[in-house]
Chain A
């Protein structure tokens, strides 16, 4: 089985079959991370470049580790330490990398559509979007789906509530697309200033009252308040924000007793989530990190692998 797409640029472009294939492949790879020797020769001789224009710890190290565990040659480039800081354009950077004949390039960029531009101009490379501005972060949504299925056995029919800065969140967009596509009942919650007027287009409910939003929730997905993207005042203070939209045990009572709490990280403790919730029994935040590695291994394998067996 192969992906129907050359790149993984967004959930919007992936079919349901693609999503199922990635998740199925990720499950088989997760087992590798539990072995004492965490490495297979699957992508030996393949090269994977991570091109990071934004600060990133977990996504960057997750992709790098995923590539290395598949025995690919992995290189990471930061914009701040590359020719970008000397004024090189995005396209020139892409063409330069293409001349080195990598198999996959992973791109994290602060501007929406940047990876699409690279994919259009550098036709010999397969690209993975590791987050483009406010647009999409497909592997995050895939790892979230895997985590939910691990805990709930399914996606269909579940009530998933995504809370926080929906406006600036690529995680919210990718998750809304994926979860709706897979039959979950999705609601987003946050102040009106942080939810685009027409977010209904993702077939999600929009709720501004967190108490109402969490009623009967199976999954509570908290988002980071993206202060670096908020160039104007979207709420009066972090104190008020936490009171209205921060997750604590009191608010969590509205959700189902076995509801899980998710967060893409990094966490702003005390601003969007109470430490007791982040570290408590509902939390699956660290499972998300583990699944992230497996999902990224799957994506790299499906894009750069020979398709002749997993070699595991």
Chain B
């Protein structure tokens, strides 16, 4: 089957393309990009009239929680993949904090198989750094690499023992895997449920100081320097943390970082009436930190945007702020939030946005995606940056509804999501 996407604004930073043209997909691959592609009468193709829409390499969310195995009531690989497709993502990387933990080959194979069956997005699991994410013994990283993991992470459970982290980094290098690093000194953040700030004092809630994140980031950049391992800092959230990353990059250390849309669109001061949809880890920080995140996106010190999509049942959120689960869903709001708050406010250009949401995640995870070069896999996202959408979590494909953006009016509608040349989401 062929798909001819006509006269969309094709944006592919890997080829320095940012112009209106045609894109032809054939047998799951990119067949051609040209100002005008004529099909001969015998060539059958689905023609997509994309004038006014943006056509990019498939978006990649390199930080999601799909909850399978173990908590299929919150999300499954299948529902998560559908949510991804609906949000314009062609690939997701899922974190290993499932039950059981993705810390061995068989669970890795299970998740990959579930992703293959789901079909609506490419699902790439990360393996745990340590067995059971307990922070003590290294998981079978080599076996998991053979089974198909694209990174290792103890996301949600930072590796507190520096020696274990050092060994993990040394060992991960053997397989060329990045370490996706949840940075949080658990002793400093213990008992906290939001940012430690004037807002937490006012609300009478225990805070998590930004320094708990910053100390851990500083440590792991130093370990990255020592080991040569690529350390990718997950969900960065404070201005000082970003300074550590900037300095690490300046020093030539293999460090990259990601930011979540909620950390550049919301601040701790927005937590009103103890709404648990504003509870996440790392927590929403100060307006100054939000500005720093925007600056990091602008100046290139932040490498990519990831959602930390964290589905929870209403039971786990419909309680007091202190007792509620950490995390919000993000797959179906990410692109509109980025269009509204980054593109329309001219924080980043369209090519830069594509780098942040496709090119760089692919590069960090070593995926042969994030490009529309001829011959590459036909993962494509088409979106309408001018279309206004009202966030309605009841219409989400995700099984969970925990979002603070309910009712927000944003611009940016994912129109078509194409995975390996097959349309998996169509909102035309």
Contacts and interface: CB of A to CB of B under 8 A. Distances in A.
B198 A91 contact: no
A201 B205 contact: no
Nearest to B191: A231
A98 to B, nearest CB: 16
Interface in A73-99: 89-91
Nearest to B323: A111
Contacts of A89: 315, 318-319
Contacts of B409: none
B41 interface: no
Given A113-B320, A114-B320, A134 B205 contact: yes
A132 interface: yes
B321 interface: yes
7 contacts: A112-B203, A112-B274, A112-B320, A112-B321, A117-B320, A120-B273, A198-B201
A273 to B, nearest CB: 24
B320 A196 contact: no
A136 interface: yes
Contacts of B196: 196-197
Contacts of B322: 111-113, 133
B204 interface: yes
A196 B319 contact: no
Contacts of A91: 318-319
A91 B197 CA distance: 28
Pairs of residues from A and B, 10 with the lowest C-beta to C-beta distance, nearest first: A135-B204, A113-B274, A112-B204, A134-B204, A198-B198, A196-B201, A111-B320, A111-B322, A201-B198, A114-B320
A132 B205 CA distance: 10
Nearest to A198: B198
B202 interface: yes
Interface string B154-197: 00000000000000000000000000000000000011000011
Contacts of A173: 201-202, 204
B202 A90 contact: no
A170 interface: yes
Nearest to B200: A196
Interface of A: 12, 89-91, 109, 111-114, 116-117, 120, 132-136, 170, 173, 196-199, 201, 231-232
Contacts of A231: 190-191
A231 B191 CA distance: 9
B204 A199 contact: no
A271 B201 CA distance: 25
Interface in B117-134: none
A190 to B, nearest CB: 14
Contacts of A111: 320-323
A116 B274 contact: yes
A196 B198 CA distance: 8
A170 B205 CA distance: 11
Interface string B289-326: 00000000000000000000000000100111111000
Contacts of A90: 319-320
Contacts of A135: 203-205
A136 B319 contact: no
B57 to A, nearest CB: 44
Contacts of B274: 112-113, 116-117
A201 B198 CA distance: 7
Nearest to A166: B201
B321 A113 contact: yes
A172 B199 CA distance: 16
Contact of A117 (B202, B204, B206, B319): B319
Q: Of residues A116, A117, A201, which shows the largest number of chain B Cβ atoms within 10 Å of its Cβ?
A: A117
A183 B315 CA distance: 44
Contacts of B201: 173, 196, 198-199, 201
A89 B313 CA distance: 15
Contacts of A196: 196, 200-201, 207
A109 B319 CA distance: 13
Given A116-B273, A116-B274, A173-B204, 19 more contacts: A89-B319, A111-B320, A111-B321, A112-B205, A112-B321, A112-B322, A113-B320, A132-B204, A133-B322, A135-B203, A173-B201, A196-B200, A196-B201, A198-B198, A198-B201, A199-B201, A201-B201, A231-B190, A231-B191
Contacts of B190: 231-232
Contacts of A198: 197-198, 201
A138 to B, nearest CB: 12
Contacts of A12: 202
A201 to B, nearest CB: 5
A266 B27 CA distance: 77
Interface centre among B197, B200, B201, B323 (most CB of A within 10 A): B201
Given A116-B273, A116-B274, A201 B320 contact: no
Contacts of B315: 89
A117 B276 CA distance: 10
A5 to B, nearest CB: 14
Interface string B197-233: 1101111111100000000000000000000000000
Chain B CB within 10 A, most for which of A89, A111, A120: A111
B203 A113 contact: yes
B267 to A, nearest CB: 14
B328 to A, nearest CB: 18
A170 B322 CA distance: 16
Among B202, B204, B321, the most chain A Cβ lie within 10 Å of the Cβ of: B204
A14 to B, nearest CB: 15
B241 to A, nearest CB: 18
A160 to B, nearest CB: 19
Contacts of B319: 89-91, 117
